[in-house]
Amino acid sequence: MNGRVGKHRNILLVWLVWPLITLGIYSLVWYYKVNREARDFDRRIEVNPVLALLAVTIGWVIIVPPFVSVYRTGERIAAMQRAAGLPGSCSGLIGLILVFFAGLQSLYYQHELNGIWKQYGDPPEGSVVALAVVPEASGPAM
């Protein structure tokens, strides 16, 4: 089975610089793209990037959806790591905790994603690569 590689990004730019310059809009774009990359990397990872984004934006009204979405994004990244033949070291729980510390979850998650792309030799975004193993199902799309 094959998947598409996502973009290798500088973790400090993702976490601090671009969000400051764009008044936070980049963080939302990044969150959408990361969830889209999970879906495109392995079609067995079930996620609707739009629903994931809505959960962290308007989901605040209900309080719980943003936290569930951040947690599940971490679990999706762990599934991506396993599909790339790496140990699933990304933790949704750590990502969830880091939300409360200056939004460090984006830095953490992007670092974990960069490790996946490095495993394949940092090919250009969208390159097709062979997956190593079957990841576990990621659950609902939030």
pLDDT digits (tens, 9 = 90+) for 100-128: 999 999 999 999 999 999 999 999 999 99
CA 94 to chain centre: 13
Residue at 74 is within a domain: yes
Domain presence at residue 137: no
Any domain includes 138? no
| Residues 125 and 35: beta-carbon distance below 8 Å | no
Residue 51 lies in a domain: yes
Query: Where do the H-state alpha helices sit in 10-137?
Result: 11-12, 18-21, 25-41, 49-57, 64-83, 92-98, 105-119
109 is a domain residue? yes
pLDDT digits (tens, 9 = 90+) for 126-141: 999 999 855 455 555 6
DSSP 67: H
- The pLDDT assigned to 97 comes to 98
Stretch 79-96: mean pLDDT = 97
Q: Tell me what the pLDDT averaged over the chain comes to.
A: 94
Q: Could you tell me the pTM of the whole model?
A: 0.92
Whether residue 118 is contained in a domain is answered as yes
Residue 135 falls inside a structural domain: no
Residue 31 has pLDDT above 70, yes or no: yes
Q: Is residue 43 part of a domain?
A: yes
DSSP character for 102? T
Lowest mean pLDDT among 41-50, 80-89, 133-142: 133-142
Q: Is the confidence at residue 39, as pLDDT, over 80? A: yes
| Count of domains for the chain | 1
Q: Which domain holds residue 124?
A: 2-130
